[in-house]
Amino acid sequence: MRKIFLIGMVITFLLCVMPLMADKSSVTIDAPDAVEKGQVITIIIKVTHDGNNIMHHTNWVYVKANGEQIARWEYTWTNLPEQEVFEKKVTYAVKESLTIEAEANCNIHGSEGLVRKEVQVK
């Protein structure tokens, strides 16, 4: 009985301390500033989140181009992100100037917010 109590205390302690060592998920967008019409670009989304583990992790990341979702990745406790800092790549054929939007979310703390990048057609 004492072992069960001690195990419960350790789990409770870890659950209380883990949020102190964690943060919200955030993204940056790497894409060209200007391209020729019809050019295919590679959009690199860099996701950062301290403390990805089975109880606390980035649970989704998405990318939109001119308001249309072009990529989304979902994560669970059985399918965690690759690392605390990881990249996702998306190719996109640019037909007009566009606004790229990306966001990531922590299942406990939420998101640092939406990030935008403008790409102009020459």
22 has pLDDT over 80 = no
Give the CATH H-level superfamily of domain 23-121: SOR catalytic domain (2.60.40.730)
Which residues, other chains included, contact 33 with Cβ-Cβ below 8 Å and sequence gap of 6+? 118, 119, 120
End-to-end CA separation in angstroms for the chain: 72
Nearest in space to 33 (alpha carbons), one of 113, 87, 114, 97 = 97
User: One-letter amino acid identity for 49?
Assistant: H
pLDDT of residue 11: 67
Rounded CA separation 45/39 (Å): 19
- What DSSP letter does each residue of 20-36 carry, written as one string? GG---BEEEEE--SEE-
What are the tens digits of pLDDT across the range 49-59? 998 899 999 99
17 has pLDDT over 60 = no
- pTM for the model: 0.81
What are the tens digits of pLDDT across the range 35-78? 999 999 999 999 999 988 999 999 999 999 999 999 999 999 99
Domain ranges, ordered by start, for the chain: 23-121
